[in-house]
Amino acid sequence: ADYSITVDPSATGPEIGKTMYGVFFEDINRAADGGLYAELVQNRSFEYSTDDNEAYTPLTAWTVSGTAQVVNDAGRLADRNRNYLLLGAGSSVTNAGYNTGIAVQDGKKYDFSVWARAEAGSTLTVTLQDAGGTLAAARRITVGKGGWVRYKAGFTAGRTSTTGRLTVAAGAATAVDMVSLFPRDTYRHEPNGLREDLAEKVAALHPGFVRFPGGCLVNTGSMQDYSESSGWQRKRSYQWKDTVGPVERRATNSDFWGYNQSYGLGYYEYFRFAEDIGAMPLPVVPALVTGCGQNRAVDDDALLKRHIQDTLDLIEFANGPVTSEWGEVRARMGHPKPFHLTHIEVGNEENLPEEFFARFRQFRAAIDARYPYMTVISNAGPDDSGPTFDAAWQLNRDARVDMVDEHYYNSPQWFLRNNDRYDSYDRSGPKVFLGEYASQGNTFGNGLAEAAYMTGLERNADVVRLASYAPLFANEDYVQWRPNLVWFDNHASWGSADYEVQKLFMSNVGDRVVPSTATGTPGAGGPITGAVGLSTWATSAAYDDVRVTAADGTTLLDDDFSGGASRWTHTGTGSWSVRDGRYVQTDVAAENTMVQAGDPSWHDYDLHVKATKESGE
């Protein structure tokens, strides 16, 4: 067949913003500790707990030789850093790092540090070894009598290894905390820095923005904090004040994805990284409605006010003068100049539109009053369509919200079929931030489907202002979600085909769209093209194998949705109808829940539907 594309270079389409394509970083799949955060010691402050993961204890990743006891008492190093380890005289403790161990490279330098306290004074002997023997010359530290002091020692690796172990041995009884080992070569040699190869992989994309810190981890769990009045709270929503200041004073928290997050990689480090790579920072704050399957609205006016104030304080932390309360905190951390924050997102995937919106309005009013230049971003829930999505969009439109965040993880076929999704979006309504999307899989075909879809985003650059693939990172030994853009272990990293697609688009952002028309497009006019598609409800991955058959028996879709680990499943019965040329499930009787791939309760569905549109039945 003859295909032709006509381009009129003199015609001008919408402008494409320089920040159009960005990245979304969430601490999922151990993307932070054991990932982008360069710390090599796992559970450095003995804070792991069964609240984080049933298998955890405060000594997870540690092996004791002799006597050692985890202590949680008033002798602690800092209020939010509850536990420390009391090492008996002549005893030692060994850390196993992440993956196969602590990875070191021949000739490279490593910085060890520890907080220690010994009533009668002590010595610490620090060694770096693997099964083959010594990896670097042992270091001896003299611990003075009295209170907590930070001690440091440097190592130079004499051999390359991916199975290293770090051992700290005490001469006399010694309390230790924040046992830390960093490569000297962090990204841009910054202190408390980032793993070089991973940071460089992100920098090489030339992202226009960095959305952080999540995702589901932002707005799940308790909205309380560590304050005296609320007591000791774990499983809290992600609250930025927990994550700034000296690392030994930061809280740790249970990560929504089933492990402990140290917050060593915190808001200051996120802002610094965005600045380093020339990207716009785009933080997400919780809005007192939990999402991601928890779906609960918190009714507590005082708490809501506190969170709104925290959000104002966050903007002050990013942009305020050094004379302001939070600007001073930023300056003390090493960055007197502002971080130039212009966009902030309130909430992530709340599935209760009315409840979310009542709270969002209050956040927005407070931000507008104090920082009228800020773009305040709302969201449309976790689906690409459906009744909740429609209700959320209506609320956003009515309130003339600046920008709405959409998320969807669908089959590659869905992405190919929906290239025109934004062609019909209201040009006078809120702009779109496609904050999370991916086709299910990391194959070349997935990358291709996403590339095709991105041409549709770009064609609609007047409506779609920002877009980021998700998730960004996965440590291959700790995977909760797939597909992912960049994969790694404790010593290597590799981009997916999808990564190359993102790099291609981000590194070549045009100034404007040049309108084009195509004739004879392959596949046009057949029964599938543009005419038949499944909405999110139907493509929800619980339908392990979905087949759609037209009345004449033609198979319109046969999809086994391979390639997804964590998926949304629909566990109710409903009926189906055709709306806007797509099959939509209505009267859904049960909630969506997250399940793991391989769940034996998955079923095959034979879905026989009658297709009527443009090209006939």
Active site positions, annotated: 349
The reply to whether 42 sits near ligand AHR by the rule CB under 6 A is no
Tell the smallest beta-carbon distance from residue 184 to ligand AHR (Å). Answer: 33
Q: Which stretch binds ligand AHR (CB under 6 A): 212-220, 313-321, 398-406, 449-457?
A: 212-220
Please provide the distance, in angstroms rounded to a whole number, between the alpha carbons at the two ends of the chain. Answer: 24
Helix pair angle (444-459, 497-506), 10° resolution? 30
Are 423 and 400 a contacting pair, CB within 8 Å? Answer: no
Q: Can you list the positions of beta strands (E) in 326-423?
A: 343-346, 375-379, 403-410
41/474 with CB nearer ligand AHR: 474
The reply to whether 110 sits near ligand AHR by the rule CB under 6 A is no
The reply to whether 382 sits near ligand AHR by the rule CB under 6 A is yes
User: CA–CA separation, 331 vs 113, rounded Å?
Assistant: 24
Cα torsion 349, 354, 359, 362: sign:
positive
Tokens of 582: 């797509």
The reply to whether 407 sits near ligand AHR by the rule CB under 6 A is yes
Q: Which stretch binds ligand AHR (CB under 6 A): 210-218, 243-251, 272-280, 549-557?
A: 210-218
Tell the smallest beta-carbon distance from residue 28 to ligand AHR (Å). Answer: 6
Beta bridge partners of 87: 68, 174
Are 252 and 47 a contacting pair, CB within 8 Å? Answer: yes
The reply to whether 284 sits near ligand AHR by the rule CB under 6 A is no
Distance of CA 301 to the CA centre of its chain: 28
The reply to whether 349 sits near ligand AHR by the rule CB under 6 A is yes
The reply to whether 343 sits near ligand AHR by the rule CB under 6 A is no
The reply to whether 215 sits near ligand AHR by the rule CB under 6 A is yes
Per-residue binder mask for ligand AHR (CB under 6 A), 17-36, x = binder: ---------x-x--------
179/217 with CB nearer ligand AHR: 217
134, containing H or E segment: strand 133-143
Q: Which of 97, 214, 283, 483 binds ligand AHR (CB under 6 A)?
A: 214
Q: What residues from 510 to 549 belong to the interface with ligand AHR (CB under 6 A)? A: none
Are 133 and 163 a contacting pair, CB within 8 Å? Answer: no
The reply to whether 380 sits near ligand AHR by the rule CB under 6 A is no
The reply to whether 208 sits near ligand AHR by the rule CB under 6 A is no
The reply to whether 471 sits near ligand AHR by the rule CB under 6 A is yes
# binding residues, ligand AHR (CB under 6 A): 14
Cα torsion 70, 75, 77, 81: sign:
positive
Q: What residues from 411 to 440 belong to the interface with ligand AHR (CB under 6 A)? A: 436
Q: Which stretch binds ligand AHR (CB under 6 A): 31-39, 173-181, 208-216, 264-272?
A: 208-216
The reply to whether 348 sits near ligand AHR by the rule CB under 6 A is yes
101/382 with CB nearer ligand AHR: 382
Residue 223 main-chain phi, psi, to 5 deg: -95, 5
Helix pair angle (196-203, 267-276), 10° resolution? 50
The reply to whether 559 sits near ligand AHR by the rule CB under 6 A is no
Residue 380 main-chain phi, psi, to 5 deg: -115, 20
Distance of CA 148 to the CA centre of its chain: 34
Tell the smallest beta-carbon distance from residue 412 to ligand AHR (Å). Answer: 17
Tell the smallest beta-carbon distance from residue 481 to ligand AHR (Å). Answer: 5
Distances 446 to 336, 472, 541, 557, 574 between C-alpha atoms, Å: 43, 15, 16, 17, 30
User: CA–CA separation, 117 vs 140, rounded Å?
Assistant: 15
Residue pointed to by tokens 């095959």: 604
Q: Which stretch binds ligand AHR (CB under 6 A): 101-109, 125-133, 142-150, 213-221?
A: 213-221
380/470 with CB nearer ligand AHR: 470
| All residues at 6 or more sequence positions from 545 whose CB lies less than 8 Å from its CB, including other chains | 558, 559, 560, 561, 604, 605
- Please give the residue whose beta carbon sits closest to ligand AHR in the complex: 215
Tell the smallest beta-carbon distance from residue 382 to ligand AHR (Å). Answer: 5
DSSP 236: B
Q: Which of 481, 499, 505, 561 binds ligand AHR (CB under 6 A)?
A: 481
User: CA–CA separation, 199 vs 108, rounded Å?
Assistant: 18
Q: Which of 285, 416, 470, 546 binds ligand AHR (CB under 6 A)?
A: 470
Which residues of this chain interact with ligand AHR, rule CB under 6 A? 26, 28, 214-216, 292, 348-349, 382, 407, 436, 470-471, 481
